[in-house]
Structure 1
Amino acid sequence: MFELFTHRYQGFQPSMGVPVRITLGAPRWTLPYTLEHQVQEAAPSREYFGTARPVYEKAYLAQLDRRGVNFFASRFQEIAVAAQDLRLVLLCFEDLAQPGQWCHRRMFAAWWQAETGAKVRELGPLGPGYEQGTLL
């Protein structure tokens, strides 16, 4: 069975596992690793992107609920098999070590834990408002 982690594009190292894009767009700079896999359904929608956090979070969680845990589990398993690595690292842009930053990768992590009981640990540093592995 696969294991999920989160991080930002800029901090990911190939030794951490398989990088998985969960953003609307890909990084516009050259990455020092290959980004072969994506789960577009875990990216926020343009419809609410840029809205206030409460609106964004409600819409994003509803989006995840519409797909459901089984859909995501199947996609993650496909990626783990294709990559021959059970460690999947869901990536986005935000630097969560900066005060006041938040992002959908940790919203996804909290949703996944609530749905499956499996923790999704952040591999990068987290600032105020976060505990390692959870979204407060």
Structure 2
Amino acid sequence: MPTLATCTYQEFTPDMGIPVRTTAGHPRFRLGYKVAGHAKTLTPTRALLAQNLPEDAYEFSYRRQLTEVGIDAIRAELEAIAAQHESGRPLVLLCFDRLNKPGNWCHRTQAARFLTEQTGQEIPELGACPAPAAPALFDTK
């Protein structure tokens, strides 16, 4: 399995690695870089997207989709994309959703969890993440 990371289209910069689309649609805004490939095995189906599910239900359905595709097919597709580009650079799985906004979540982080469980490879998020909760300064008990 190639080295992987995740990010938004908006926050990605070419020094991060090789940009790979994981979205059903193309970005509708101009990118300052060329997307190197489309990881179709990791792209949520349009039927799943149309359901507008809460995060936990969406992840359940999305994981079912990934399991049906199978880790071997996912690995083969990602290896084929990586083979077309400079070796040693991570594939950066891209989508639109910024994670630093309260309540935002994204299929790319769900895919990263699934792939980590299947392969043992940690997959970092390169975009802005939610700020950790501030520690309590005073005991409120």
Structures share a fold, TM > 0.5? yes
Deviation for aligned residue 1:128: 5.4
CA contact (8 A) 2:20 2:36 kept: yes
CA contact (8 A) 2:48 2:58 kept: yes
Q: What is the one-letter code of the residue matched to 1:24? A: A
Cross-structure match for 1:10: 10
Runs of 4+ in 1 over 4 A off after TM superposition: none
Cα separation, 1, equivalents of 2:131 and 2:61? 24
Name the count of aligned residue pairs: 129
Cross-structure match for 1:109: 112
- TM-score scaled by length of structure 2: 0.86
Cross-structure match for 2:92: 89
Cα separation, 1, equivalents of 2:56 and 2:77? 27
Say what the alpha-carbon RMSD is for the aligned residues: 1.4
CA contact (8 A) 1:5 1:90 kept: yes
- Structure of higher RCO (CA pairs closer than 8 Å, 6+ residues apart): 2
Unaligned runs of 5+ in 2: 133-141
Q: What is the one-letter code of the residue matched to 2:76? A: S
SS in 1 for 2:79: helix
Deviation for aligned residue 1:73: 1.0
Cα separation, 1, equivalents of 2:87 and 2:27? 23
Cα separation, 1, equivalents of 2:79 and 2:46? 27
Structure 1 vs Structure 2: percent identity of aligned residues?
36
Cα separation, 1, equivalents of 2:42 and 2:131? 25
Cross-structure match for 2:47: 47
User: Pairwise mapping of residues 54-69 of structure 1 onto structure 2 (< 5 A)?
Assistant: 54-69=56-71
Cα separation, 2, equivalents of 1:104 and 1:84? 26
Deviation for aligned residue 1:84: 2.0
* Structure ranking higher in strand proportion: 1
SS in 2 for 1:83: coil
Cross-structure match for 1:132: none
Cα separation, 2, equivalents of 1:113 and 1:54? 18
Cα separation, 2, equivalents of 1:6 and 1:71? 19
Q: Deviations over 1:3-26 (max 9, x none)?
A: 000000000011111000000001
Unaligned runs of 5+ in 1: 130-136
Deviation for aligned residue 1:55: 2.0
Instruction: Point out the structure with max Rg over C-alpha.
Output: 2
CA contact (8 A) 1:21 1:38 kept: yes
**Residue number among 116, 130, 140 corresponding to 1:127 in the alignment:** 130
- TM-score scaled by length of structure 1: 0.89
